[in-house]
């Protein structure tokens, strides 16, 4: 792996690790990643305890000043430790690393609410299971996007979580982008996984297979004229946009891969923002934004800007680098406590104030909602709600968004 040898021993990765900063048993990214790997290459890399406690949030990797693929070296370490897993854990991880199966039959997760099943599978009995939020049919009239043909096209990536549990968010994103003046089609048609879950669990070969199949599917469904592939889940975004080419041996897709909220900031016309902002949704209420750990590989603050641009009354970022959910991490019994501890500061920060949470990942939303006791949804959902409010409030709909309008550069 490129730059695996670059480690300066500076410990910046340790200072960025949310698990290290909560769990005293955890040896930290430097020891589990580059230091283990260096010994491993020399044939003396004994497997270390607690390697599975890594959330694969990749904050270590983002923090590393010399580009060591710290988290991906830890994933190699996890892969080497797979044979040590017990059978129930293997069964459990087989399911958890195939979210595309779960997405096809989300009701199955209810079975795990039965405590004996959870116990046997080493599933957390503490973590809330996601509830299924199937969208009511979006009213066509509310979209207001009746612009003529020739509109630019985007592809909307349907991730496993949203396919299975939150078609509301997905359709909200689609409707919004139509309001922005784009033609939207969803990919892939069938439920598939980009490989993120398997990679996080150290199933690197499986991740490669899943990613390869997904890439074929997306390439087959792209029409060639899309300006972007839009994602609603920061983890899938990172996997497709970065890991596929860097770590899973795939070629970059022929379109840029962009998170929905970044796309919205760049492409929603000024009229959209002024309309939404004028609606003044839920005054006096707080909007907490949380960019998930994997989202932070792109940066932090765009969600905050989105909420402000949409005119939310009081916006505050959650003081969390990672909420602890980390995909299926929090659903594993052995991680339940760490996942809880990592996310706990959110509850202290919110502390009795009314409001909602905007977060760019479905599983994080479930986790944060449980921890903080506030509704947590994808920003596309909230933005759509604000748009609907603005539409019902205003007698005359705003002029349709034209693609040719200058972008609102911010400020």
Partner 1 sequence: MRVVVVGQGPAGLLTADWAHRLGAEVFVAAAADGSLALWSGAWDFRSFADSGEVVRDPWQWWDLHGRQRGVAWNREDWVRWWTRWRDTWSAAGIPLAAGAELPSHNRWTPTAVGRLRPVFVCPAWQWAADEPEPVIWVGLEGLADTPIALASARYHALTGMTATGVCLPRPDAWVPHWSGLAWSVYVDSEPGRQWLTEALTRALRDHAGTSPVLMPQMLGQDGCETLIGQLEAALGRPVREYALLPPAVGGIRIRDRWKRALKRRGVTWVSGTVGAVRKEGVQFRDTGELLPADAVVLATGGILGGGLWLSAAGELFNTGTGEMVPWSGRMEDLARAGIGTEGPAYRAVGRVVGGFDSDRDGDSGAVNLYTVASAMEALFGERTAGEGWQHSEEGP
Partner 2 sequence: MVVVVGAGATGLGVAWDLSLRGIAVTVIEQGDIAHGTSGRFHGLLHSGARYAVRDPDAARECIEENRILRRIAAGAIESVGGYFVKTPASPDDYGARWLAAMDAVGIPVEPVSREALRTAVPELHPDVKGGYWVPDGVIHGFPLLFRLQKAIEARGGRVQHHTRLVEVAVDHGSVCRVRVSSASGSEWIACDALVNAAGPWAGKVSELFDDPLTMRLSRGLMIIFAERKTAHVVNRLAPPGDGDILVPHDRVTIWGTTDEPTASPAADPPQRSETQKLLSLGRDLFPSMEQWRALRAFSGVRPLYQPESAADPRHITRDFTVIDHGRRGGPAGVVSVVGGKWVTFRLMAEKAADAVTAYLGLGATSATAETPLPPLPTPGEDARTPWLCECEQVGERDLAAWPGATLAEWRTRTWFSMGPCQGTFCLHRVANRRIAATNLAALDAEEVALREEREQGMQGALWGDNAREWALSQAVRRQTLGERT
Interface contacts to partner 1, rule CB under 8 A? 10-12, 14-16, 20-25, 27-28, 31, 62-67, 296-302, 304-305, 308, 316-317, 319, 409-411
Among 35, 159, 166, 215, interactor with partner 2 by CB under 8 A: 35
Among 39, 90, 110, 119, interactor with partner 2 by CB under 8 A: 39
Closer to partner 2 by Cβ: residue 49 or 319 = 49
Among 25, 65, 90, 105, interactor with partner 2 by CB under 8 A: 65
15 binds, among partner 2, partner 1, none (CB under 5 to 8 A by kind): partner 1
Q: Is 251 in the site for partner 2 (CB under 8 A)?
A: no
Distance CA 208, CA 217 (A): 14
Structure tokens at 215: 């890439």
Q: Is 38 in the site for partner 2 (CB under 8 A)?
A: yes
Closer to partner 1 by Cβ: residue 190 or 245 = 245
- Residue identified by tokens 């899943």 is 210
- Look at the chain and count its residues: 411
Q: Is 70 in the site for partner 2 (CB under 8 A)?
A: no
Closer to partner 1 by Cβ: residue 118 or 235 = 235
Q: How far is CA 134 from CA 138, 166, 180, in A?
A: 11, 6, 24
16 class by beta-carbon count within 10 Å (0-12 exposed, 13-18 middle, 19+ buried): buried
**Shortest distance, CB of residue 322 to partner 1, whole angstroms?**
14
Whether 165 contacts 135, CB under 8 Å: no
Whether 258 contacts 228, CB under 8 Å: yes
Beta bridge partners of 316: 288
Distance CA 34, CA 112 (A): 37
Q: Is 137 in the site for partner 2 (CB under 8 A)?
A: no
DSSP string covering 301-361: SHHHHHHHHTT-SEEEE-S-S--S-TTTGGGBGGGHHHHHHHHHHHHHHHTT--EEEEES-
Our CA dihedral for 218, 223, 224, 226, rounded to 10 degrees, sits at -90
Among 14, 19, 22, 31, interactor with partner 2 by CB under 8 A: 31
42 binds, among partner 2, partner 1, none (CB under 5 to 8 A by kind): partner 2
Distance CA 168, CA 206 (A): 30
33 binds, among partner 1, partner 2, none (CB under 5 to 8 A by kind): none
44 binds, among partner 1, partner 2, none (CB under 5 to 8 A by kind): partner 2
Instruction: Find the helix packing angle between 336-350 and 362-372, rounded to 10°.
Output: 60
**Shortest distance, CB of residue 41 to partner 2, whole angstroms?**
4
Closer to partner 1 by Cβ: residue 78 or 297 = 297
Distance CA 203, CA 95 (A): 12
**Shortest distance, CB of residue 380 to partner 2, whole angstroms?**
41
**Shortest distance, CB of residue 94 to partner 1, whole angstroms?**
31
Query: What are the backbone angles phi and psi of residue 150, rounded to the nearest 5°?
Result: 75, 15
Q: Using CB under 8 A as the criterion, which residues of the chain lie in contact with partner 2 when the complex forms?
A: 2, 4-10, 30-31, 35, 38-39, 41-42, 44, 65-66
């Amino acid at each position: 792996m490129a730059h695996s040898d670059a480690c300066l021993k500076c410990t910046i990765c340790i200072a960025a690790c949310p698990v290290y900063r909560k769990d005293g048993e955890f040896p930290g990214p430097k020891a589990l990643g580059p230091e283990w790997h260096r010994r491993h290459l020399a044939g003396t890399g004994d497997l270390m305890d607690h390697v599975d406690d890594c959330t694969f949030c990749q904050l270590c990797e983002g923090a590393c000043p010399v580009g060591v693929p710290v988290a991906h070296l830890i994933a190699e370490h996890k892969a080497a430790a797979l044979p040590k897993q017990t059978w129930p854990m293997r069964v459990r991880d087989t399911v958890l690393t195939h979210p595309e199966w779960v997405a096809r039959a989300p009701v199955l997760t209810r079975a795990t609410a039965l405590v004996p099943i959870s116990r046997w599978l080493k599933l957390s009995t503490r973590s809330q299971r996601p509830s299924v939020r199937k969208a009511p049919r979006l009213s066509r009239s509310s979209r207001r996007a009746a612009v003529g043909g020739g509109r630019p096209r985007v592809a909307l990536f349907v991730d496993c979580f949203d396919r299975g549990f939150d078609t509301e968010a997905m359709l909200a994103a689609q409707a919004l982008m139509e309001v922005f003046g784009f033609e939207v089609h969803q990919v892939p048609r069938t439920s598939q996984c980009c490989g993120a879950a398997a990679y996080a669990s150290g199933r690197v070969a499986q991740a490669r297979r899943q990613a390869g199949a997904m890439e074929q599917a997306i390439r087959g469904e792209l029409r060639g004229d899309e300006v972007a592939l839009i994602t609603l889940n920061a983890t899938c975004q990172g996997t497709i946009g970065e890991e596929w080419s860097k770590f899973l041996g795939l070629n970059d897709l022929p379109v840029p891969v962009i998170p929905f909220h970044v796309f919205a900031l760049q492409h929603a016309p000024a009229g959209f923002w002024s309309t939404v902002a004028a609606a003044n949704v839920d005054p006096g209420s707080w909007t907490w934004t949380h960019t998930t750990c994997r989202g932070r590989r792109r940066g932090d603050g765009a969600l905050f800007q989105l909420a402000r641009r949409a005119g939310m009354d009081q916006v505050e970022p959650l003081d969390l680098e990672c909420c602890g959910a980390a995909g299926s991490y929090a659903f594993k019994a052995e991680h339940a406590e760490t996942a809880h501890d990592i996310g706990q500061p959110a509850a202290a920060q919110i502390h009795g104030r009314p409001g909602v949470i905007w977060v760019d990942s479905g599983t994080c939303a479930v986790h944060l909602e449980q921890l903080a006791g506030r509704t947590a949804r994808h920003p596309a959902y909230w933005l759509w709600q604000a748009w609907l409010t603005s539409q019902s409030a205003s007698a005359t709909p705003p002029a349709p968004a034209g693609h040719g309008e200058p972008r609102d550069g911010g400020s």
